[in-house]
């Protein structure tokens, strides 16, 4: 099988200016040198120019660490299972939530439950490598608190505590309405891929956010539920989970359904 029968890069609105679409079996080693895989995605036609005052971070290398296993920085990719894992920690002194996870050093950590040890660019590249496609996204948020329900490739998100401070739980349980005394359940998560600021940088990198639930255009993954909309200041990190500030966690994102 030739490489053109497998995956191909196509320009789009995603954070690398490109995506990987799947039309059959794909061998990363044969089709692309791993050290050039992400570089190729950054250089695709269709990526908007980057503001000279906000230079893009250098593209991370893709490292093969096993059969169907790859790593981009601290992000581990299981291509066969279509699963991405990234370590992080519970943010400290967060008074209200608008996001589930921010990037390393992301300035939204004051309103995010978790800090992940990754950049937005690396995280998005990992999601592309498990077959998620931003061109499938519809009704993506156009502004903060957009009431439209985003659509896209579905994923599930789990949080684990590697030192056993917690049992594995779905990420939506991090959200807790302190007025109604209810944690969130149901709904779902979709990959929107974030977007670019007009004539500027990748929005998720600029805002330092990865996973959100208030329908914000910067988020790479968004919550399809609407229960948090209009609840500004009332959503906090769920105290019933019993995890302390600074606790080490691993966030696992798994693609649902076949790659399209």
How do residues 199-245 score in pLDDT, each as one tens digit?
Answer: 889 999 999 999 999 999 999 999 998 777 778 889 999 999 999 99
pLDDT score, position 34: 46
Percent over 90 (pLDDT), the chain: 67
Q: How many domains does the chain have?
A: 1
With H, G, I as helix, E, B as strand and everything else as coil, classify residue 27: coil
User: CA 153 to CA 14: how far, in whole Å?
Assistant: 13
pLDDT greater than 80 at residue 38: no
Tell me the chain's radius of gyration from C-alpha atoms. Answer: 18
Residues whose CB falls within 8 Å of the CB of residue 153, separated by 6 or more in sequence, listed in order: 131, 132, 133, 136, 137, 190, 191, 255, 256, 257, 260
Q: What is the pLDDT of residue 234?
A: 92
Residue 108 domain-assigned?
Answer: yes
The reply to whether 260 falls in a domain is: no
User: Which pLDDT does position 90 carry in this prediction?
Assistant: 98
Residues 91-119, mean pLDDT to the nearest whole number: 96
CB atoms within 10 A of CB 227: 18
Q: What is the pLDDT of residues 118-172, one digit of tens each?
A: 999 999 999 999 999 999 999 999 999 999 999 999 999 999 999 999 999 999 9
Nearest to 259 by CA among 153, 188, 139: 153
Strand pairing class (209-212; 221-223): parallel
pLDDT tens digits for range 39-84: 434 333 334 443 434 455 566 789 999 999 999 999 999 999 999 9
- The domain containing residue 86 runs over which residues? 3-255
Q: Among all chains, which residue has been given the structure tokens 């250089």?
A: 43
**Is residue 197 pLDDT above 70, yes or no?**
yes
pLDDT band at 189 (very low <50, low <70, confident <90, very high): very high
Confidence of residue 7 (pLDDT cuts 50, 70, 90): very low
CA distances from 215 to 168, 193, 211, 235 (A): 25, 13, 10, 14
């Amino acid at each position: 099988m030739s490489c053109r029968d497998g995956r191909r890069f196509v320009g789009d609105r995603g954070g690398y200016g490109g995506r990987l679409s799947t039309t059959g079996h794909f061998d990363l080693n044969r089709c692309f040198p791993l050290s050039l895989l992400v570089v190729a995605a950054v250089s695709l036609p269709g990526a908007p120019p980057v503001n000279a005052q906000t230079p893009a971070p250098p593209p991370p290398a893709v490292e093969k660490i096993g059969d169907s296993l790859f790593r981009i920085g601290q992000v581990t990719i299981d291509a066969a299972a279509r699963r991405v894992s990234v370590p992080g920690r519970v943010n400290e002194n967060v008074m209200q939530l608008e996001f589930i996870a921010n990037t390393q050093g992301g300035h939204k950590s004051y309103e995010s439950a978790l800090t992940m040890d990754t950049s937005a660019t690396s995280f998005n590249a990992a999601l592309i490598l498990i077959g998620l496609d931003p061109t499938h996204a519809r009704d993506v948020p156009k502004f903060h608190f957009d009431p439209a329900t985003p659509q896209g490739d579905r994923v599930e998100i789990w949080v684990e505590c590697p030192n056993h401070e917690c049992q594995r739980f779905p990420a939506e349980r991090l959200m807790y309405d302190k007025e109604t005394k209810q944690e969130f359940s149901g709904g779902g998560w979709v990959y929107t891929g974030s977007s670019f600021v007009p004539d500027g940088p990748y929005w998720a990198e600029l805002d330092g956010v990865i996973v959100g639930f208030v329908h914000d255009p910067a988020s790479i993954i968004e919550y399809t539920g609407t229960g948090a909309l209009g609840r500004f200041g009332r959503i906090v990190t769920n105290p019933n989970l019993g995890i302390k500030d600074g606790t080490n966690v691993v966030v696992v994102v798994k693609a649902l359904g076949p790659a399209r």
